[in-house]
Amino acid sequence: MTDSQNPGRVAVITGASSGIGAATARALAADGYRVALLARRLDRIEALATDIGGGAIAIQADVTDRSQLIAAAKRVKDELGGTDVLVNNAGAMLLGPFSSALYQDYRTMIEANLLGAITTTEVFLDQLKDGGGDIVNLSSVAGRTASQGNGVYAATKWGINGWSESLRQELLPGIRVTVIEPGVVDTELPTHITDDATREVIQGLYDVATVKAEDVAEVIAFALSRPRHLVLNEILLRPSDQLL
Ligand code: NDP
C-alpha cells in the first residue's frame, strides 16, 4: 500500500519499544499512518520515532497506570489530532508452573495484558469515536488453548478474546475490532520469564522461531487495509510447523 491510502490517519501502538509493536509501527508508518509509539522504555521508542520520521511521536507510558494513559491520549490529541487506530499490543508472558513463587508475575500479566488493554481502550475511546476507527487487540494462540505452565498468561488472552467480542458488538459498525492470535513469534518476550527452568525451555522454542515480528505486522496492516464494510475479526496465525 502507498501512503496516499491513509492520508492523515493516526495509529497508536502500545508496547512499541520492541517486537511486534515496533514492527507494527514501521508497517503502519509505511502505509501512511502517523504513529504514536507508547512504551515504558523511552530511549527505544524515541530512537524508533526518529527512524520512522513522518511525524512519529514517542510517549512514555505504562499501560498499568491510567493517569499516564490519560496524559498520553492528550498528547496524541494535541500533537496528532486524534486516533484512528489503536493497537493494544503491550504485554508480558511470564510462564511457569502455578505456584505462589510467581504470584507477582500473575499480577503483572493481568495488569498489563488484560487490564492494560482495557484501560488504554477506555481512555482512547472518545478519540476513536471521532471517525471510523479500528481497535486491534493482541491475543495469542494461548487465547484459544491452554497448557501446563501457561495458565495465567492464557487467562489474560482468553480474557482479551471475550472482552473483544463484547466490544465488537457494542462498537459496530463505526469502529472495527480485530483480534490477532499469534503462535511463536521471534521476539524478546520469553527473556522476561522469571522461572529459570521455564525460561530455558521456552527460550529454546523461540531460538528456532521462524515467524518474525514483521510477519505479524504485515497481517495487522493487511487487516486494517480492508475496505470499511469488511472486518477481519479474529486472525489465528502460527508457524507452519507449530503443533499446539
Ligand atoms: P516484546 O517483549 O518484544 O514486546 C512487549 C512490549 O510490551 C514491549 O514493547 C514492552 O515495552 C511492552 N510492555 C510490557 N509491559 C508494559 C507495560 N506495563 N506498559 C507499557 N508497555 C509494556 O514481545 P512481543 O512483541 O512478542 O509481544 C507483543 C504482544 O504480542 C504481547 O501482548 C504478547 O503477549 C503477544 N504475543 C506474542 C507472541 C510471541 O510469540 N512473541 C505470541 C502471541 C502473542 P516496555 O518494556 O518498553 O514498556
pLDDT at 131 over 80: no
Owner of C-alpha cell 489503536: 86
Averaged pLDDT for residues 124-143: 92
Amino acid, res. 183: G
pLDDT at 129 over 80: no
Give the angle 137-116-10 at the CA atoms, nearest 5°: 55
Give the residues surrounding ligand 1 with Cβ less than 6 Å away. 14-15, 17-21, 39-41, 62-64, 89-93, 112-113, 116, 138, 140, 182, 184-185, 187-189, 213
Amino acid, res. 15: G
Are the CB atoms for 91 and 15 separated by under 8 Å? yes
Instruction: Tell how far CA 35 is from the center of its chain.
Output: 14
Q: In the β-sheet with 10-14, what is the strand arrangement from edge to edge?
A: 57-60, 34-39, 10-14, 85-88, 133-138, 175-182, 234-237
Q: Which atom of ligand 1 is nearest to the CA of 14?
A: 21
Per-residue confidence (pLDDT) for residue 6, from 0 to 100: 77
* Average pLDDT of every residue of the chain: 96
Quick one: pLDDT band at residue 132, thresholds 50, 70, 90? confident
User: Pocket of ligand 1, candidates 89, 137, 158, 199: which has the most ligand atoms within 8 Å of its Cβ, to mutate?
Assistant: 89
Whether the predicted model's global pTM rises above the 0.95 cut: yes
Beta-carbon contacts of 76 under 8 Å, excluding residues fewer than 6 positions away, are 10, 12, 36, 57, 59, 82, 83, 124, 127
User: For ligand 1, atom 2, which residue shows the shortest CA distance?
Assistant: 189
Neighbours of 58 (CB within 10 A): 24
Averaged pLDDT for residues 187-213: 97
Per-residue confidence (pLDDT) for residue 5, from 0 to 100: 65
pLDDT at 169 over 60: yes
Q: Separation of 31 CA from ligand 1 center, angstroms?
A: 22
Per-residue confidence (pLDDT) for residue 3, from 0 to 100: 45
pLDDT at 170 over 90: yes
pLDDT digits (tens, 9 = 90+) for 79-119: 999 999 999 999 999 999 999 999 999 999 999 999 999 99
Q: Separation of 229 CA from ligand 1 center, angstroms?
A: 30
Superfamily (CATH) of domain 3-92+103-182+210-237: NAD(P)-binding Rossmann-like Domain (3.40.50.720)
pLDDT digits (tens, 9 = 90+) for 32-87: 999 999 999 999 999 999 999 999 999 999 999 999 999 999 999 999 999 999 99
Are the CB atoms for 120 and 88 separated by under 8 Å? yes
User: What grid cell was written down for 25?
Assistant: 509501527
In whole angstroms, what is the distance from residue 220 CA to residue 231 CA?
12
